[in-house]
């Protein structure tokens, strides 16, 4: 299947010169953060972005000899797939071993962009890459010595039940989206870590109405977890206050790391943690008086 390439790269590929070839892998994580790797023998810089080769003893390693992944493309609306076999080595993600990060779901739903570069001299990427595949991580099978990832193209987003909005008792909006209209950025509260673990954070949290931050989120703005976010299960104000997360971060934050905490919404109309809290009842979208099936006909 043909791929769009730059005119300069097309000219280069039309010559008889011996070329260096490398694949570049860019993961954009759901919780925030971008990871870049290459299967080349040394690091490669493309458009100002560094793609790590992992070094001799660090990793992770992609497409090693006898351990290459494969891709499947098809014409039409069927979902294209690619498979990656990864040897994690001693690589880390957010301070946790690469293998543990996969087990904890750090890569679940992450977007992968796989590109290929051809270089007349190693490291010369000025002619641009060829985008080989873009999709989302559907599965990460963690074995003893390797990790197998299956990535589906974005065509899988068409595989969903229609209509998109169904009759339901809870609001169909997501807090802060266009339909909701709440300005979450203006409601962020900046905090600094004073202790805790990967799933229970301690920080000086100003007195707030009970449940204000429940079902909200925290987003780190510094430290090894910078850019990553998690949903708040329970937040208790105090000095220090305690913030219990629904799912843990890959590793515990360090003291003095900073983050923003945002309020949550339980999608009710008049509840203390619903639309009334944001004075946003005019945008509430739910059908609380749906009759039971036996009387709906």
22-42, pLDDT tens digit by residue? 999 999 988 778 999 998 889
pLDDT of residue 260: 94
Q: Of 250, 265, 260, 252, which is closest to residue 108 (Cα–Cα)?
A: 250
d(C-alpha 84, C-alpha 87), whole Å: 10
User: Per 3-state DSSP, what percentage of the chain is helix, strand, and coil (rounded to 5)?
Assistant: 10, 35, 55
Q: How many whole angstroms separate alpha carbon 60 and alpha carbon 38?
A: 9
pLDDT at 229: 87
Contact criterion met (CB below 8 Å) for 188 and 202? no
144-161 pLDDT, tens per residue? 888 889 999 888 887 777
pLDDT band at 118 (very low <50, low <70, confident <90, very high): very high
Structure-model confidence comparison of residues 107 and 32, the more confident one: 107
Share the mean pLDDT of the chain.
86
With 60 as the cut, is the pLDDT of residue 65 above it?
A: no
Q: How far apart are CA 239 and CA 195, in angstroms?
A: 11
**Residues near 123 by beta carbon (within 8 Å), at least 6 away in sequence:** 42, 44, 45
Q: How confident is the model at residue 135 (pLDDT cuts 50, 70, 90)?
A: very high
Angle at 212 between CA 275 and CA 243, to 5 degrees: 145
Beta bridge partners of 231: 217
259 DSSP β-pair partners: 191, 220
Cβ-count burial of 221 within 10 angstroms (0-12 exposed, 13-18 middle, 19+ buried)?
middle
Is residue 2 pLDDT above 80, yes or no?
no
Using CA atoms, how far apart are residues 243 and 236, in angstroms rounded to an integer? Answer: 6
Strand, coil or helix: 102: helix
Residue 49 buriedness (CB in 10 A; 0-12 / 13-18 / 19+): exposed
How confident is the model over 222-233, as a mean pLDDT? 88
Please compute the mean of the pLDDT values over residues 164-170 and round it to a whole number. 76
Q: Answer whether residue 189 shows pLDDT above 60.
A: yes
Residue 76 has pLDDT above 70, yes or no: no
pLDDT band (50, 70, 90) for residue 70: low
Place of tokens 């515990």: 252
Rank 139-148, 179-188, 270-279 by mean pLDDT and report only the highest. Answer: 179-188
214 token code pair: 């429940």
């Amino acid at each position: 299947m043909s791929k769009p390439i730059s005119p300069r790269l097309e000219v280069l590929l039309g010559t008889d010169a011996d070329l260096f070839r490398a694949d570049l892998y860019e993961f954009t994580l759901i919780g925030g953060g971008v990871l870049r790797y290459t299967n080349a023998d040394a690091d490669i810089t493309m458009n100002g972005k560094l793609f790590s080769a992992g070094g001799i003893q660090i990793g992770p390693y992609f497409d090693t000899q006898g351990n290459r992944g494969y891709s499947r493309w098809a014409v039409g609306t069927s979902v294209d797939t690619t498979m990656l076999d990864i040897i994690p080595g001693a690589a880390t993600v957010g301070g946790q071993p690469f293998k543990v990060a996969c087990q904890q779901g750090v890569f679940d739903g992450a977007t992968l962009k796989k590109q290929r570069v051809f270089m007349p001299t190693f490291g010369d990427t000025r002619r641009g890459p060829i985008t080989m595949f873009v999709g989302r991580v559907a599965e990460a099978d963690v074995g003893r010595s390797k990790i197998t990832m299956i990535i589906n193209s974005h065509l899988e987003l068409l595989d969903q039940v229609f209509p998109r909005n169904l009759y339901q008792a809870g609001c169909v909006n997501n807090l802060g989206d266009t339909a909701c209209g709440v300005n979450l950025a203006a409601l962020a509260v900046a905090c600094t870590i004073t202790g805790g673990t990967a799933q229970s954070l301690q920080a000086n949290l100003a007195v707030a109405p009970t449940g204000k931050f429940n079902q909200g989120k925290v987003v780190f703005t510094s430290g090894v977890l910078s850019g990553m976010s998690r949903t708040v299960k329970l937040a208790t104000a105090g000095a220090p206050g305690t913030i219990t997360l629904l799912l843990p971060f890959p590793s515990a934050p360090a003291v003095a790391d900073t983050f923003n905490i945002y309020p949550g919404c339980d999608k009710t109309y008049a509840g203390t943690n619903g639309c009334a809290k944001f004075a946003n009842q005019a945008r509430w979208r739910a059908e609380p008086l749906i009759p039971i099936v036996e009387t709906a006909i």
